[in-house]
Structure 1
């Protein structure tokens, strides 16, 4: 979904981003001068209420995975006034301008599917679980050992 654009005006990349709840009418892309390969290409800046330019985010160069090998910029806008960072990507070039695209991030399942093939029998295992219980059927402590409530630091 396109949510904004940037164009060269007076030698600077200026643009805007607007959604239902966000309106950033005057943004700039400030080139980052760095020899570090991991440095961003641009800082995203905006005018604050005091009419000063403040950084809201950064953009890094990326290459499309499909066969065209198109170069684009990706990053995010973040500010304490926003409920969460806004991930964006810019497609285009300096001559024709850039369009700002946004896509809802897809949730990753880091743990894999929650499918179990068989239920494990912990009682039959020699090293299963957390060991024997110290509570009886009524929930009371079964042995006469005092409970050590002291927590070492």
Structure 2
């Protein structure tokens, strides 16, 4: 679903994003100068109520996993005023402008197979999963009634 656009204006990439509950009428993309290959390509800036540009997100280059191999930008807009981060993707180019798309993340299927690092699904937790030994028996009660957990777990 397209929710905005960016175009070159006065030598800058300026645009907007709007949904039913979000209206960001003045946004800018600022190129990131970095030699770090993991750095984003752009910072997403918004004009705040004090008329200052503030960073609200970043965009990285991505390649479509389908047969087209299309290159696009993807990232997230986040701000304390938003209920949750907004994942976005930009399609186009600096010279032609970008279309801003949004896609709802697919919910995880509760009945789908669970993938574990060992390749096999483990029943319950044990020492091999990083949680250590359990202090509960099969019924969920303290396995060793003589143990005092407060001696083992420091509370500061």
What range describes the TM-score normalised by the shorter chain of this pair?
Answer: 0.7 to 0.9
> Cα distance, 1:88 vs. partner?
0.2
Does the C-alpha gap of structure 1 residues 17 and 151 become closer, same or farther in structure 2, counting only changes over 3 Å? same
Corresponding residue number in structure 1 for 2:89: 89
Kindly indicate whether residue 111 of structure 2 is the aligned counterpart of residue 130 of structure 1: no
TM-score (norm 1): 0.75
Q: CA-atom RMSD, angstroms?
A: 2.9
- For structure 1, list consecutive stretches of 5 or more residues without a partner in the other structure: 115-119, 121-128, 136-144
TM-score (norm 2): 0.74
List aligned pairs for 1:110-149, cutoff 5 A. 112-113=112-113, 130=137, 148=148
* Rg (Cα) greater in structure: 1
- For structure 2, list consecutive stretches of 5 or more residues without a partner in the other structure: 115-122, 124-135
> Cα distance, 1:151 vs. partner?
3.5
Residues of 1 paired with 2:83 and 2:110: CA distance? 24
Corresponding residue number in structure 2 for 1:19: 19
> Cα distance, 1:132 vs. partner?
8.9
Kindly indicate whether residue 55 of structure 2 is the aligned counterpart of residue 55 of structure 1: yes
Does the C-alpha gap of structure 1 residues 14 and 146 become closer, same or farther in structure 2, counting only changes over 3 Å? closer
Residues of 2 paired with 1:78 and 1:134: CA distance? 43
